[in-house]
Structure 1
Amino acid sequence: MAEPEEDFSSLPMPDRFAHKNWKVRKQAYEDAAQQFSRTPDEKDPAFRPFLNDTSLWKGAVCDSNVAAQQDGVAALVAFLQYGGRDNSVRTRGATVPGLCDKGLSSTRAATKASSLEALLLYIELDVAAPVVEDMLPTLSSKQPKVVAACLAALTSIYHSYGCKIVDPKPVLKILPKAFGHADKNVRAEATKLAVEFYRWLREAMKPMFWADLKPTQQAELESQFEAIKSANEAPKQERLLRTQQAAKERTVAAGGDEYGDEGGDDDAVEEPAEVDAFDLAEPQDVVKKIPADFQENLASSKWKDRKEAVEALYAVFNVPRIKDADFGEVNRGLAKCMKDANVAVVTQAAQCIEVLAKGLRRSYGRYRTIVMQPILERLKEKKQAVADALGAALDQVFLATDLTDCLEDITTFLSHKNPQVKEGTMRFLIRSLRTTRTVPGKAEIASIVESAKKLLAESSEGLRSGGAEVLGTVMKIIGERAMISHLEGLDEIRKTKIKEFYETAQVKAKDKPKPAAPPPTARAPGGGPPKKVVGGGLKKGPSPIKKPAPAAAATSRDEPSTPQAARPAAGKLGMPKASGLGMKPPLGSKRTLAGPGTMSPRRPVAPPASPPLEIYEEPAPATPVPQPRVGLGRGGLAARSLAKPSAMAVPTPAAPPSPTPQMTGLMAVERAELEELRLANDRLLRNADESRQERARFMSEVQELKNQNAGLIEDHTRNMLSIKAKETQLVRARSDAEAAEQTNERLRRELDRLKRALSKAEAALINGGGSTALPERISSPGFASPTHDDAGIYRDGGYPPSASRNRISYASTMSEEKENGEPAIAYPRSKLSPDLRYVRAGSGSNGRGSPARGFRRDLASGTEDVPGSPASAANHHFGAGGTSTTSGPTGGTVTGQESWKRAAEVTNQLKARIEQMKAKQGIRRG
């Protein structure tokens, strides 16, 4: 009977993940996946052990047992699905390399699928760049199956998320290496990845790696690219990030569709921006690669040298992206080449301008004034190859600028005397109108239309057809309705031809008409303030009608109130209503027929006789309704007020009613123009106010900066003076320190000399052997002052004569006072002690000048030697306990003990005298 297996379910989950038995690990992976699926949110404690130790997942995805590895990767997928973004960010660094090395190349299909799903989840939860960065080292593996599996995973990633979510540049850089791999499976996966890139990037991907491929590989890829081109299907992101999913849910909850469109028209959906090679490539510094003899060869008289110079320059500039630098001198040289007599030089120079403008993009705009006019002038060349090169250069220069910058040169050369230049400029204008993304302004449209109308009268069929195509393209941009006023005076044949070009023209800039706003009412629903029509929209504003006088006429924004003058009622754009009455009839009144009004379609339309800007300053007419006049009336459009009248204005009884005329295209154009002028005027006024405010702000900032600069200069000057003063003090302190060191050295040498003298004196005193030689040593020339042992002077009286550290002599006391800064006073010997007078009086060497002779006179009294006294200590010091006799002044004899007793008394007296002298000296100094 088999033994029951041990139950390891009681162990902690980290211990089970790291268990040596693969069955325990496999069961732990299964339990962990079930546990993650039952968690209520991503903050559940079940995730915490795996966040504290991310190496658990590294061991799970790289498990040595394939069965356990399958469950380990599945547990990781469950961990990512239910764990959220924070858990994925903290674990991807430990798991992505293992998934690429062991999971994607596993022999089990479930393990491969789970590994790919884990990689996709890492991208879905956060961003793709770190995941791709961790996958790229696997492409350098020595095992071909690992490299092929990693390339297949990258293909799935780009297919699911697209090149907008996952940056293709890191992978495109290493794609040539995959195409050059020795294993055919790796090359096959690289081909699939390149095809996937072509779905998203099209031709923009080729400059990154195409030149590194073999011709056979290029041909194979081209055949697969043709299938993608024929399908003509726009790639779509198949898998959304978590952030995109949340945005989609919010949009659906708000009432829109899955793409965030809340029921707008088809034009509201933006087309995906096409990725080009410029966005993928890295900027290259080409200035250093320009040949040093370029300008010299360009100025050569031999056309071959000039051609070689521009060919070498083309090879340098022919890169996807160029780093911005100063190319002014190069462009001036290329502009001179436009006048070259050799067409090969002209063609190659035009190609250099094309690739330089393509590599710099918007940065090339500052060189437009250098090269555009010479290129337009050279359009007189009849050879088609030269004309094509010049046209391509002009197109790239236009892409670096806009229509507003180029329009002045275009209109100038449209009236050139050479038909070839005129036709080439016309073709360039048509291409510019098709590619521009900015709708031209009113003045620009008028200038283009005027030049195109002149082309319609040319003798050449190509110029006449080109003029019609220009007008048709402009109509496509601004709309058919807005173009009606510009086509007046043209015959029907030309209008028909313009309409044909309008229907076939393809443009990128379209002037979308503003939505029509309802006419203004006197009072908003609900009793709120009336609404003003400004630029086609509704704005709430204060009511121009006063309650006490409801019949009073409303005043305009810019004119003072006139109680008696009734203003005509305004339409949607601030113009008088199409009724021609200029006012609103009272309720209950009947309309009666009258003659045609000013704006009636039955009357001829005359051009305006005054500038439209005068409309804002001309006062409103005092009469309610003018009499019918021929044309638009006196002053044209300027005779009509733009003021917004009151909805409750009451007409005078003398106003003849007239039928409401039908709305015509001309009236709509006029109203659109007047509204455009009004908005332009308001915009100019706002810009002027903003400019004044900005100028005042700049002036205040300049003044503030000046004040700060002055303060900084003052602080700098003060700091420099302070530094100089500190330097002067430092120099003085250094000199004082050097002087003090010299003084200290001199005093140290003096102290050493005194110490040596003292030691010699003590040694001589100790080795003398008797008290008889003491007076002679004291009075000898080599002994300048009494020592501690000779005179029995002790500094503190508690130490024997052998303790020399507490002894002090007269000379040492004077030296210390000198070192301490006290004045060196020569103490008179006669003032120290009465017994020391003999020292100054005696001059011989017989001992009469010794201090000992002064007190030997008193030794005859036979004083007893006191045991323990200093004299007794000195006696023990000089002898071994015997007595020594000496002769006193009376001729008697005394013992040695009595003499040293007397010496101790004299010593005490000397010490008392010294203390008194010090006290007196202190009082004097104080």
Structure 2
Amino acid sequence: MAEGEEDFSALPLPDRFTHKNWKVRKEGYEDAAKQFEKTPDESDPVFRPFLQDSGLWKGAVADSNVAAQQEGLAAYCAFLKYGGVQACTRTRGVTVGAIVEKGLPSMRAAAKTNSLEALLLCIELDKADPVIEDLLPALSHKQPKIIAASLAALTAIYHNYGCKIVDPKPVLKALPKVFAHADKNVRAESQNLTVELYRWLREAIKPLFWGELKPVQQQDLEKMFENVKQEAAPKQERFTRAQQDAMAAASAAPGGDEGEGGDGEEYGEEDGGEVDVFDLAEPVDVMPKVPGNLQEQLSSSKWKDRKDALDALHNALNVPRIKEGPFDDIVRGLAKCMKDANVAVVTVAANCVDLLAKGLRQSFAKYRSTIMAPMLERLKEKKQSVADALGQALDSVFASTNLSECLEEILEYLKHKNPQVKQETLKFLIRCLRTTRDVPSKPEQKSIAEAGTKFLTESSEVNRAGGAEVLGTLMKILGERAMNPYLDGLDDIRKTKIREFYETAEVKAKEKPKPVAAPPKAAAPAAKKPLGTKKPALGLKKAAPAAAPPPPAEEPAPAPPQPKPAGRGIPSKLGGVPKTSGLATPGSGLKLQRKIPGPGASAASPQRRVASPPSEDAPAPAPPKFGLGRGLAGRPIARPAAAEPAPAPTPAPAAPPMSGLTAAERAELEELRLEKEHWLRINEDLKSERSRLASQITELQNQNAQLIEDHTRDVLSIKAKETQLVRARSDAESAEQTVQKQQREIERLKRELSRAVRATAISPPNVPDGLNMGVTDTTSIYHETGTNGHDAASRSGLHMGSRFDAARARNYMSPSPSDEKENNGIESPRRSSRDSGSLGRSNKLSPTVGSGFSNVGSPVRSSNSLRYGSGSHSGEEQPARSAEPAENWKRAAEVTSQLKARIEQMKARQGLTRPPTQR
């Protein structure tokens, strides 16, 4: 046995890996792991046999003996860890499948842990796609424990690397199948995997498989999702080899000490951020689903047809990702629908634009110019549901393009005359600034800032708050310092409001000013070196004027501010130098002179006015010449002897501009800088004044427009009132004409009535003499009074009374039909009142009337007697009717007297005659 063991240990590792004895194999695995750990690099010869024959690892990770398999998995992990990328790429094709079938479902915890670590190392060294491709077939395995182990491994992979490193689409497509598995462990692991994917993808996972789950499973998952929603955003825990190299390079770069910890954080945020459903979905060709008669239906005069066509289009476009196609006609039709009078059509059209823009993303950018302007114009709709649909569609259109393409059109509609369009466009601009990932350029910044400043003077509180929010959001993108020029001239209240929005704004644009601020930090050490080398020169400069008594009081003043320009690398402001420190003053004893530059002053500063002691400069004053020098290079210092040794002690070439400057020159430089700052401040004040005046002009223009609108409204109201007045007058005139017409009609009817009554009164029926006389008198009365309108009414009443009384008289005095027959043709139809009276009196003398008096006729006869006596009676009735003639005549006389009295009363009432008492 000992000899066998010696022989086994002497065998090379590949032979021991394939030995029949499991103990030999186990010891070979252990020795290989130890040798891998001792290798200096990936090119060590110990890796070569295992790289050439990858089958060795297939047997090791799937060893039939569980103890040997555990060590084989540990050896394979060491091989991957120390063997590098080649160790992974050459062996994973044969090892991943074996690990899934034999290692992951192992009953030993160490074997299971090493199996999972091997899979994670394969992803770390190269990429995850090959590993996932080998894992997915295991989800259809016969044994449930292998499926559950594979799902657990997938959960661990996504937990460590996130969904940016490991593509979740293949796994999401396979989830419905494992959710329908009969084994409860498989279903539980599938729930765990779904929850893990939800941590990274959130709601983006649902469109891919949610509809294929049972309602009970959906409810269970929703409960699990509620707990995940309260957790913080996940971060990547393990990084690939490429990420590790990038992080190491970033750490080695200048400033890497500060950003070392932040790089991993940045990777975690970038790779672990929420993934959009667009990235997960496959493109779908929606053109076959679009109705063929879409354009015809959109041109229909019935809004119901137009809405039905848009609903069909909406159903066709309702997919996560749309395959590119010829959508020009569809977009033009949707743009036309934005002008539709029916709000339901506009809403559905906006939803279609939203789906199309989200489905195409960057491919929709070419349709932006066609659809964006009609949508902005339709923002005038006051109905909130329509405004929300249009706003969402505009956001989707903006997401497919960028701020530079949309800004010009947005700024144009911010000047729209409709206040509703201005307000909604302002909200759209704010959303664009929040979601854009590109920092606006300088001209765009100025345009946005000017637009926001104009809205600060609007009369509407909503617009003023919107303008402040625009400026605050822009400040969040650019930084406070970059926004200072745009905020000058604003009052403190508005600045406070802008700062409030700045503090609460959330933007996605990466701030570009941050990298610009880095070079001064890197250049700071270089700038400090000239400061150290300059110190001896400063000491010499101080020592040189110390020999002369006048200058020492002037020279020490510039010394304290010296570090400032040295830190910046160029001459800068000298805050401690007074404006007249380097100039000649009445009591300073100094004099300004200009000298011709000599040969030793070629490297000196430009021509400047310098202060020098009069005792040294008086013997050789030089006339000033302005044409010899240009800028600062043509004016040397006053004392050439003192100027020459100045450059000597400064061998460092880092600060040549400071070599020839004296205190007076620095003072003059400071004076010029102060003057420059003064003019800059004046310029800024003028700009702020200009902006303030422009805002006032804008406000006045708005007020003027409001007054014009009010005036126009008043004029239209006055015209409407005048129109109503004219119509009322016309109606009054027509009413008057109608009244006059009715009056004329009444007069006509009265005249007709009077004529009818008169005709009846002129020809009464048969009456006795007394009654006939009364009627005749009544007729004479009518002839006396005339026929005017007032008398006509009186006659109307008189005729009615006469007619009534005459009718009563006829009832008493009408002769018998036989008498009429006998007297017909003998008597004349009409008799005078006298004859009638005589006949009446003669008749009174004879008490009876018989047939012997047939020739004499009736006492009273009328031409209308035939009408009243048309009937025939026998001769026996005639004596009965004339039996009481005296009584009949008596009644007739009474009626006549009553009629006369009534006529007299009516005449007295009408004023025609005096009453009988006054006669």
TM-score w.r.t. length of structure 2: 0.56
Q: 1:574 to 1:380 in 2, by over 3 A?
A: farther
SS of 1:379's equivalent in the other structure is: helix
- Compute the displacement of 1:349 (Å): 0.8
Q: Partner residue of 1:237?
A: 236
Q: Distance in 1 between matches of 2:314 and 2:66?
A: 58
Q: Partner residue of 1:466?
A: 466
Q: Partner residue of 1:476?
A: 476
- Compute the displacement of 1:503 (Å): 3.0
Q: Distance in 2 between matches of 1:65 and 1:255?
A: 53
Decide whether the 8 Å contact of 1:579 with 1:661 is kept in 2. no
- Compute the displacement of 1:228 (Å): 2.4
Q: Partner residue of 1:776?
A: none
Q: Partner residue of 2:77?
A: 77
Q: Partner residue of 1:329?
A: 329
1:496-895 matched pairs, under 5 angstroms: 496-509=496-509, 510=511, 512=513, 514-515=516-517, 589=582, 667=680
Q: Partner residue of 1:93?
A: 93
Q: Distance in 1 between matches of 2:450 and 2:608?
A: 39
SS of 1:321's equivalent in the other structure is: coil
Q: Distance in 2 between matches of 1:119 and 1:672?
A: 68
Q: Distance in 2 between matches of 1:665 and 1:517?
A: 26
Q: Distance in 2 between matches of 1:430 and 1:144?
A: 54
Q: 1:592 to 1:488 in 2, by over 3 A?
A: farther
Q: 1:222 to 1:17 in 2, by over 3 A?
A: same
- Compute the displacement of 1:205 (Å): 2.9
Q: Distance in 2 between matches of 1:90 and 1:444?
A: 54
- Compute the displacement of 1:309 (Å): 1.6
Q: Partner residue of 1:228?
A: 228
Q: Distance in 1 between matches of 2:161 and 2:37?
A: 26
Q: 1:350 to 1:186 in 2, by over 3 A?
A: same
RMSD: 4.8
**One-letter amino acid of the structure 2 residue matched with residue 139 of structure 1:** L
Q: 1:107 to 1:307 in 2, by over 3 A?
A: same
Q: 1:72 to 1:308 in 2, by over 3 A?
A: same
Per-residue displacement from partner, 1:141-198 (whole Å, max 9, x unpaired)?
1111111101111111121222232222222222222222222211211121122222
Q: Distance in 1 between matches of 2:276 and 2:337?
A: 30
Q: Partner residue of 2:360?
A: 360
SS of 2:513's equivalent in the other structure is: coil
Q: 1:307 to 1:15 in 2, by over 3 A?
A: same
- Compute the displacement of 1:136 (Å): 1.5
- Compute the displacement of 1:35 (Å): 4.4
Decide whether the 8 Å contact of 2:236 with 2:267 is kept in 1. no
Q: 1:387 to 1:572 in 2, by over 3 A?
A: farther
Query: Larger deviation: 204-213 or 6-15?
Result: 6-15
Q: Partner residue of 2:163?
A: 163
Q: Distance in 2 between matches of 1:179 and 1:371?
A: 44
Q: Partner residue of 1:454?
A: 454
Q: Distance in 2 between matches of 1:227 and 1:144?
A: 28
Q: 1:419 to 1:8 in 2, by over 3 A?
A: same
- Compute the displacement of 1:264 (Å): 11
SS of 1:382's equivalent in the other structure is: coil
Decide whether the 8 Å contact of 2:62 with 2:69 is kept in 1. yes
SS of 1:589's equivalent in the other structure is: coil
Decide whether the 8 Å contact of 1:100 with 1:135 is kept in 2. yes
Q: Partner residue of 1:430?
A: 430
Q: Distance in 2 between matches of 1:306 and 1:166?
A: 45
Per-residue displacement from partner, 1:764-794 (whole Å, max 9, x unpaired)?
xxxxxxxxxxxxxxxxxxxxxxxxxxxxxxx
Per-residue displacement from partner, 1:223-249 (whole Å, max 9, x unpaired)?
2223222122x3222223344445555
Decide whether the 8 Å contact of 2:96 with 2:119 is kept in 1. yes
Q: Distance in 1 between matches of 2:197 and 2:415?
A: 47
Query: Larger deviation: 200-209 or 8-17?
Result: 8-17
Q: Distance in 2 between matches of 1:517 and 1:672?
A: 30
Decide whether the 8 Å contact of 1:479 with 1:511 is kept in 2. no
Q: Distance in 2 between matches of 1:95 and 1:458?
A: 71
Q: Partner residue of 2:383?
A: 383
Q: Distance in 1 between matches of 2:676 and 2:119?
A: 64
Per-residue displacement from partner, 1:361-411 (whole Å, max 9, x unpaired)?
222111111111111111111221111110001111112222222222222
Per-residue displacement from partner, 1:477-501 (whole Å, max 9, x unpaired)?
3344444443445444333333333
Q: Partner residue of 1:296?
A: 296
TM-score w.r.t. length of structure 1: 0.56
Q: 1:97 to 1:460 in 2, by over 3 A?
A: same
Per-residue displacement from partner, 1:118-139 (whole Å, max 9, x unpaired)?
2122222322221221121111
- Compute the displacement of 1:416 (Å): 1.9
Q: Distance in 2 between matches of 1:649 and 1:4?
A: 93
- Compute the displacement of 1:250 (Å): 5.4
Q: Distance in 2 between matches of 1:54 and 1:316?
A: 51
Q: 1:304 to 1:27 in 2, by over 3 A?
A: same
Q: 1:207 to 1:666 in 2, by over 3 A?
A: farther
Q: 1:264 to 1:161 in 2, by over 3 A?
A: closer
Q: 1:664 to 1:296 in 2, by over 3 A?
A: same
Per-residue displacement from partner, 1:796-831 (whole Å, max 9, x unpaired)?
xxxxxxxxxxxxxxxxxxxxxxxxxxxxxxxxxxxx
Decide whether the 8 Å contact of 2:574 with 2:670 is kept in 1. no
Q: Partner residue of 1:914?
A: none
Counting helix residues as a fraction of each chain, which structure ranks higher? 2
**One-letter amino acid of the structure 2 residue matched with residue 239 of structure 1:** R
Q: Partner residue of 2:840?
A: none
Q: 1:169 to 1:379 in 2, by over 3 A?
A: same
Decide whether the 8 Å contact of 2:608 with 2:632 is kept in 1. no
- Compute the displacement of 1:462 (Å): 1.9
SS of 1:365's equivalent in the other structure is: helix
Q: 1:340 to 1:527 in 2, by over 3 A?
A: closer
Q: 1:15 to 1:574 in 2, by over 3 A?
A: closer
Q: Distance in 1 between matches of 2:466 and 2:386?
A: 21
- Compute the displacement of 1:474 (Å): 2.9
Decide whether the 8 Å contact of 1:179 with 1:213 is kept in 2. yes
Q: Distance in 1 between matches of 2:485 and 2:673?
A: 23
Identity in percent: 58
SS of 2:380's equivalent in the other structure is: coil
Q: Distance in 1 between matches of 2:23 and 2:264?
A: 61
Per-residue displacement from partner, 1:227-285 (whole Å, max 9, x unpaired)?
222122x3222223344445555555668668954999999998655432222222222
Query: Larger deviation: 79-88 or 109-118?
Result: 79-88
Q: Distance in 2 between matches of 1:653 and 1:112?
A: 77
Q: 1:88 to 1:644 in 2, by over 3 A?
A: farther
Per-residue displacement from partner, 1:336-361 (whole Å, max 9, x unpaired)?
11111222211111111111111222
Decide whether the 8 Å contact of 1:452 with 1:467 is kept in 2. yes
Q: Partner residue of 1:59?
A: 59
Structure 2 stretches of 5 or more lacking a match?
Answer: 534-564, 588-605, 611-630, 634-656, 688-919
Q: Distance in 2 between matches of 1:644 and 1:203?
A: 68
Q: Distance in 2 between matches of 1:312 and 1:450?
A: 44
Structure 1 stretches of 5 or more lacking a match?
Answer: 531-569, 595-620, 626-642, 675-926
Q: Distance in 2 between matches of 1:580 and 1:20?
A: 90
Task: Establish whether residue 403 from structure 1 lines up as the match of residue 394 from structure 2.
Answer: no
- Compute the displacement of 1:201 (Å): 2.4
Q: 1:580 to 1:287 in 2, by over 3 A?
A: farther
**One-letter amino acid of the structure 1 residue matched with residue 312 of structure 2:** A
Per-residue displacement from partner, 1:709-730 (whole Å, max 9, x unpaired)?
xxxxxxxxxxxxxxxxxxxxxx
**One-letter amino acid of the structure 2 residue matched with residue 376 of structure 1:** L
**One-letter amino acid of the structure 1 residue matched with residue 513 of structure 2:** K
Decide whether the 8 Å contact of 1:468 with 1:498 is kept in 2. yes
**One-letter amino acid of the structure 1 residue matched with residue 582 of structure 2:** S
Task: Establish whether residue 392 from structure 1 lines up as the match of residue 392 from structure 2.
Answer: yes
SS of 1:238's equivalent in the other structure is: coil
